[in-house]
Amino acid sequence: MESSFEFWDYLVFVLYALVILTVGLWVSRTKKGEKKSTEDYFLASKSLPWWAIGASLIAA
């Protein structure tokens, strides 16, 4: 059994990485084109109670 990577293996890896990067950058933008802050990610823009945010952080 051959254990080295071939061209298609590298191509699939690079395409997967580009898709993940593109989706991440697309999701991190708002409709206005502004970046989201850490408050948006960790505090859900202060729209959830503290216990819900804490439970989701522990669950993750």
> Which residues, including other chains, have CB under 8 Å from residue 28's CB and lie 6 or more apart?
35, 36
pTM: 0.50
Query: By C-alpha distance, which of 42, 40, 37 is closest to 57?
Result: 42
Amino acid identity, position 21: L
Please say whether the beta carbons of 39 and 45 come within 8 A.
Answer: yes
pLDDT digits (tens, 9 = 90+) for 3-51: 788 899 999 999 999 999 998 887 767 667 667 677 766 666 667 777 8
SS3 content of the chain, % helix, strand, coil (to 5): 65, 5, 30
DSSP code for 44: G
Can you give the pLDDT at residue 1? 60
